[in-house]
Structure formats: structure tokens, C-alpha cells
A and B are shown apart, each in its own frame.
Chain A
């Protein structure tokens, strides 16, 4: 016997003092309602309703049991609510980099809702995304990893004001080599003042900064050419005003009307991996649907390791006769 369904029929009939109105309220057929009440009367061993008159009335037993029946139904109702809050209602925080594509994030949130998972998106700098996973404040996060190790790679490039003369942005070339950022000797004599290259908090990751500094030195750039930017909006304003270059991903540059060229050296690009907070037992997996949507939100072009040169390249310079470089030179 489904006790709750039978108690529902009992309480509705007592409230309405009518089998037909009670059946309407519950949305069931009247014979079914009558049968349930009969079954309940057999179960409790006594009549709950006096059917001898035109208007039915509740018997003494019916009045006595009514508050207890209501109590059972209320508690069952609360049990259902708590269960729902615990399951569907809990927000799972997802740590993402700043400047993700809002539409793609919305798709991820909606996809979660469809699966009974409430996602909450939190924009955080790289170190906090990592620590959030370990302290449990984040359920999932896009974590920075070297591009050749990560599943996702986001090309990092230089945003410039449209028509900046300082860079060889014209022509058919599609990438920027760091050597091209060396100060140019103007025809007048003094070199044109070299624009600083601003870096966003998303790129203030120790291994990345170290790589960038080494690559810049090897390309003949003076130290301090790359500088941490303040707030992104101010950095972008400096860039659009032609007073700086900004190291960022393509969507951020394009959305704001800046020109953009990717860095040719892919080891300087952003690498990501979608990670889940470690579960209490074993490792937690990231649902496939979430990983895919987060990849598109961050603007990943595909596998970091795929597509040719991943790690720092052993280029022509490194292939030099090594002993010679250690000797005294002219």
C-alpha cells in the first residue's frame, strides 16, 4: 500500500467533505479515491467517514487520526524538498580565466541545468583556480599548464592599436616573432621609443614568465620590455591609444577593436587542462560535456601538444657548435 497516496485521499476528502471535490483536487478518478479510502479504513480497522447522509461527515476515528495524517504528509513533503535542495540545488563552482566568452559560459551553465547540476562560474587568476580545487571551494577549474602538456592551447599574441607602424603587421604574415619587437633604429638616428608590452594577470604564472623572459633575452630584447599590466581595461586603453602593446588572446583583442598577431613561438602560448576537485575517495572525473564547453569558452584551438612545435624549440641558434659559445670571443 502506498500509504502517502492513501493519506492524501483521506485528508483531501476530510477537507472537502465530498468524494468528488476531493478527487478533483487530487486529479484522480473518484472510484480510485473511494477505493483508497476503503483500503485505509480496512488498514486502520474502522470507518473514517459516515456515508449514510447526503453530505458525508468525518467519524470520530476520522477526526482523531486527521492531525497525525497531516503531520505524516507534511514531513514527507519536507523530506522531498530537502532531497531536492541537496541534489539539484547545490551550486558547483567552476573556476575560469578572466575574459572567457560569455555565450560559451552560458551554454555550459544551461547544459548543467539540463543535467540537474547547478554551475556557478567564477573568474579567478591562475593561482586561485588551482588552490580553489584543493581547498574544495571549486568543483572544476581551467588550470594553467605548459602548452605542450595541456589538452588545450590558447594562442597568445600581441594586441596593437589598429595601424600601428611599430610592427610589421601588414603583408601576408600571420605570426609575430619576438625579434621583431627589438627597437628599430629610425632614419633620424635615435631608435623609435620601444612600446612596452603589457601582460595580464592570467599570464602571471611563474613558469610562463620565466619562459617569456628567456625568450625575450634570446631575441635581443632589453629586460623590462614585458611589464605586468594593471586593470585590463586600462591596459587595453593604453594599447588602443598606441602607447603600449598588450599580450592577450585573440578574442579579447578583436572584441575591443585591436589588431592582433599570435606569437610564433607556441611554447609561449597558454596551455590549459580542465580539472575536477579531488573526490573524497579516488580522483573525480570532469564530465565530457563540461570539458568541451569550457574549452570553447576559453578560446582553445585544440590540443596543445598537437600542431608541430610544442616545447621550446631547438632552433638554429641552439644547434650552434656548443663548445664555441663557451669560449672567449672577439
Chain B
């Protein structure tokens, strides 16, 4: 991590907002990057936007786009049934990963489960159909900047359990100890080995999805719809909940990482894409005040950027 945080802001008022968010985060022991951009005016604010970060479940968004691109191209049938054996599915607390009995689900619904409840088993089942290397190649072909896909979702669990032997506290301790150093005991926390990206690359991806400037309109439209079905509301959504606002997002949580990306669309027409990628030294699996600080950051950025 670079020592000095670089602030982004198109005028001094926006830079002030970025600095206030960074100060709020620092007061809670939160580090990381943040970027919010008005999709129509292009105005933006943030900090640490080029910093490479392991994406955790946020990587399911580019994965979904590549799968939807294959569907739009007619290479993959969204109704194609996939049978998952619970003995061999990826580890996770939600969706098919938590199933205890065999289930057959169509590709299109695997996408739903992956994006709405962050289903690791659904994501890895999709990676069986569209291999990791192919997803990565597609992202590069699209020119998605530093956005990289390098491993299946379950690889994160395997690396953490391999290093810490199923001891969550120890894994968290290792993650916190290694944070900001060159050597990561848990390999999937190393941006050079993980599914990784920067706030800048993620916000640009969201902009292209919302403006239909990537893949095919059928794919981007479906991705926007699925991201709007996310059930988690503890982070960016927490402060953007109103009948006049629509939040479409994807969270990512792994050990000391707490992320979310998404787009808020107001009834007034304003559209702001946000990427919040955070790390803390907190030795806790749940940190409600950190989640909420991310939510507060998203709201203040949206209010500063909307017209």
C-alpha cells in the first residue's frame, strides 16, 4: 500500500468530501480505496483509486458479465440445467453452497443466486462452464484495466483454511498481520495472486455496464437487473434506501476485507457508480460500524455528485 493517499476530486468541494470520508474511515481503523463517479457528468471523488485490492465476492460481477456475454452471443443456454452435489460444492454460508441435498439449477438462476446472495457454489459452477482463464481473457479483451480473474471462489476458502486450519480467528490474525506487507500467508490476499482490481477499474466497468458500452445490451441489461436483486443492505445500501432511490450492488467480504460496488439511480435521473474497497485491523467477523461508515461514505458522495 502506498504511504500517501492520493485524493481525487474534480473540484475542491469534491476533494473535501473525499478527505472527510477518508478521515471517517481512519477514525474507525479502516483503510482502503473509494471512488464515486456521476455516470452522466463524469464528475468524481475518491482516494486510493488505483490501489490493487483482492476483490473477494465483488469478482462475481465481472464473472457474471462474461457469462451473460456468452449467453447473449448464443454460446450458452440460460436454461441449461446444472446439477450440484453438496458433497463437492464450494464452501459458503448462502445459496447452493449451503444446500445439503443435490439440486439442479439453470444457468440463468445460478447467476441470480451468485449475485443476489453471493453464492460461492453457484459462482464456481459457472466457472465450470466458463473457465477462469476464459473470463480473464475476456476482461482483458474488453480493456478492463487492472481487473483480473485468477481463481475460483473456493480457492479463497482453501487458502485461508490451509494457512489457519479452519481457525477463523487465526486466519483473521494472519490477514491483519500481513496487511501492508509484501508477504501474504494467505495467498488470495495478495493482489498479484488473487482476483483483484482497483476502485478505478471497477467504477469504469460499472459505467460501461450502465451505459451499454461493453458486451451486448442484453447482457448488461440482465446484469443491472440481477445486481438490483442483492439482498444485503448493511453497507452502501444502508444509507441509500428510499422509494426514490434504486441501489444495485455487490458486496464482498473475506476475513478483514469489506467491499461493495454498485450504482445508485435516483428517480430524479441522477446515476452515481460507487466502489468502496476496505480493510480493517479489527479482529471481528462482523463490524457493524465499519459497514455503516461505508454506507455513510456512499451517501455523502452521492449527495455531493448528484445535480
Instruction: Tell me which of B29, B120, B171, B231 contacts A328 (CB under 8 A).
Output: B120
CB contacts (< 8 Å) of B27 on chain A: these are 222
Chain A, residue nearest B56 (CB): A328
Q: Known: A222-B29, A330-B94, A330-B118. Contact between A325 and B254, CB under 8 A? A: no
**How far is B287's CA from A322's CA once the two chains are assembled, in angstroms?**
18
**How far is B92's CA from A324's CA once the two chains are assembled, in angstroms?**
5
CB contacts (< 8 Å) of A220 on chain B: these are 284, 286-289
Are B91 and A323 neighbours in the complex by a CB distance under 8 Å?
yes
B154 within 8 A of A: yes
Are A326 and B157 neighbours in the complex by a CB distance under 8 Å?
yes
CB contacts (< 8 Å) of A327 on chain B: these are 90-93, 97, 120, 153-154, 156-157, 160, 254
Stretch of A123-131, A211-219, A237-245 on the interface side? A211-219
**How far is B234's CA from A220's CA once the two chains are assembled, in angstroms?**
14
Instruction: Tell me which of A222, A321, A322, A324 contacts B28 (CB under 8 A).
Output: A222
CB-contacts of A280-330 with B (<8 A): 317, 321-330
B298 within 8 A of A: no
B253 within 8 A of A: yes
Instruction: Tell me which of B90, B166, B253, B282 contacts A217 (CB under 8 A).
Output: B282
Smallest CB separation, B155 vs chain A (Å): 9
- The CB with the most chain B CB atoms within 10 A, among A222, A326, A330, is that of A330
Smallest CB separation, B202 vs chain A (Å): 16
CB-contacts of A149-184 with B (<8 A): 182-183
Are B29 and A223 neighbours in the complex by a CB distance under 8 Å?
yes
B76 within 8 A of A: no
Chain A, residue nearest B117 (CB): A330
CB contacts (< 8 Å) of B281 on chain A: these are 223
CB contacts (< 8 Å) of B53 on chain A: these are none
CB contacts (< 8 Å) of B93 on chain A: these are 321, 324-325, 327, 329
CB contacts (< 8 Å) of A218 on chain B: these are 283-285
**How far is B281's CA from A324's CA once the two chains are assembled, in angstroms?**
21
Q: Quick one: CB contact mask for A11-28 with B, threshold 8 Å, 1 for yes? A: 000000000000000000
* Contact count band on B: 35 or more
**How far is B28's CA from A327's CA once the two chains are assembled, in angstroms?**
24
**How far is B2's CA from A193's CA once the two chains are assembled, in angstroms?**
32
Q: Known: A220-B289, A222-B289. Contact between A323 and B157, CB under 8 A? A: yes
**How far is B290's CA from A217's CA once the two chains are assembled, in angstroms?**
11
Q: Known: A223-B281, A223-B282, A323-B91. Contact between A328 and B57, CB under 8 A? A: yes
CB contacts (< 8 Å) of A328 on chain B: these are 56-57, 92, 118, 120, 153, 156-157, 252-254
**How far is B154's CA from A220's CA once the two chains are assembled, in angstroms?**
27
Are B253 and A330 neighbours in the complex by a CB distance under 8 Å?
yes
Q: Quick one: CB contact mask for A200-221 with B, threshold 8 Å, 1 for yes? A: 0000000000000110011010
Are A329 and B283 neighbours in the complex by a CB distance under 8 Å?
no
Given contacts A220-B288, A323-B91, A324-B93, 12 further A-B contacts (CB under 8 A): A222-B29, A223-B28, A327-B92, A327-B93, A327-B153, A327-B160, A328-B120, A328-B153, A329-B93, A330-B57, A330-B232, A330-B253
The residues of A with any CB-CB pair to B shorter than 8 Å are 182-183, 213-214, 217-218, 220, 222-224, 317, 321-330
30 pairs, CB–CB < 8 Å, chain A vs chain B: A183-B289, A213-B283, A217-B282, A217-B284, A218-B283, A222-B28, A222-B29, A222-B282, A222-B289, A223-B28, A223-B281, A224-B29, A322-B168, A323-B157, A323-B161, A326-B161, A326-B166, A326-B255, A327-B90, A327-B91, A327-B92, A327-B97, A327-B154, A328-B118, A329-B56, A329-B92, A329-B253, A329-B254, A330-B94, A330-B253
- The 3 A-B pairs of least Cβ separation, nearest first, read A330-B118, A217-B284, A327-B157
